[in-house]
């Protein structure tokens, strides 16, 4: 299964609504970046802002936050289907996974570019997806770090079934490589929304996966 997931990183609710409108009809999944200004040096819209928007998207919340558990109730009150938390922000990974599971979300675990793959391998059989950050988290428009390609390839060689998501710096010129080493989900923000014609860019990206 290969899927492009538009990513929205913003602190402006109107910008959030505008971007959702621009990808309506192109995809059924959208990622919303949630940042607390502590785990990363940036802040974002809040989950309660998302709850005020009527939409038929399936949302995944990429929680770039220190206290994942505090966001789960708000996530349940919105249309969040998948919650992704960072291994670097978790003192008790098993406990967070169990807590997320009680809310009925799909579960994702993310790792930053500099984090060793070994940090998430113990959890690959109890989460739904592993997300590789291709850039330092918190800001859009960064260049993809090529070293992450080797980690994606390594995980795919270890497990042929795990769903692998890659997020940050994904563009037309590298999506084919990421596809070839085993990624399933391609989270794209700037590489999609910066295009003059977003629908055309989405289709161009999709064609790279066929």
Residue matched to tokens 């770090």: 145
Mutual angle of helices 13-23 and 198-207, in 10-degree steps: 60
Query: What is the C-alpha to C-alpha distance for residues 192 and 172, in angstroms, rounded to an integer?
Result: 9
Residue matched to tokens 């399933």: 184
Q: Is 12 a catalytic residue?
A: no
DSSP state of 72: H
Q: Pick the catalytic residue: 11, 15, 28, 33?
A: 33
Q: Is 167 a catalytic residue?
A: yes
Backbone angles phi, psi at 7, to 5 degrees: -115, 135
Token readout for 111 is: 């790792």
For residues 80 and 60, the answer to whether their CB atoms sit within 8 Å is yes
- Please report which helix (H) or strand (E) contains residue 192, including its range: helix 190-193
For residues 143 and 135, the answer to whether their CB atoms sit within 8 Å is yes
Sign of CA dihedral 3, 159, 151, 121: positive
Query: What is the C-alpha to C-alpha distance for residues 104 and 197, in angstroms, rounded to an integer?
Result: 36
Sign of CA dihedral 47, 138, 25, 178: negative
List, by residue number, the catalytic residues.
33, 167
């Amino acid at each position: 299964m290969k899927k492009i997931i538009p990513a929205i990183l913003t602190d402006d609710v109107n910008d959030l609504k505008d971007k959702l409108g621009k990808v309506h009809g192109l995809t059924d999944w959208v990622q919303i970046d949630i940042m607390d200004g502590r785990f990363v040096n940036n802040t974002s819209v809040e989950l309660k802002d998302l709850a005020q928007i009527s939409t038929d998207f399936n949302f995944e919340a990429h929680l770039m936050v220190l206290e994942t558990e505090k966001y789960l109730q708000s996530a349940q009150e919105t249309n969040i289907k998948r919650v992704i938390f960072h291994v670097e922000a978790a003192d008790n990974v098993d406990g967070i996974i169990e807590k997320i599971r009680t809310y009925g979300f799909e579960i994702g675990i993310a790792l930053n570019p500099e984090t060793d793959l070994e940090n998430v391998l113990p959890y690959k059989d109890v989460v739904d997806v592993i997300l590789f950050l291709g850039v330092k988290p918190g800001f859009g428009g960064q260049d993809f770090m090529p070293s992450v390609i080797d980690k994606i390839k390594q995980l795919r060689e270890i497990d042929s079934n795990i769903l692998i998501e890659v997020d940050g710096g994904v563009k037309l010129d590298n999506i084919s490589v990421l596809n070839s080493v085993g990624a399933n989900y391609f989270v794209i923000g700037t590489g999609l929304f910066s295009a003059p014609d977003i629908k055309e860019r989405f289709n161009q990206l999709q064609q790279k996966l066929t």
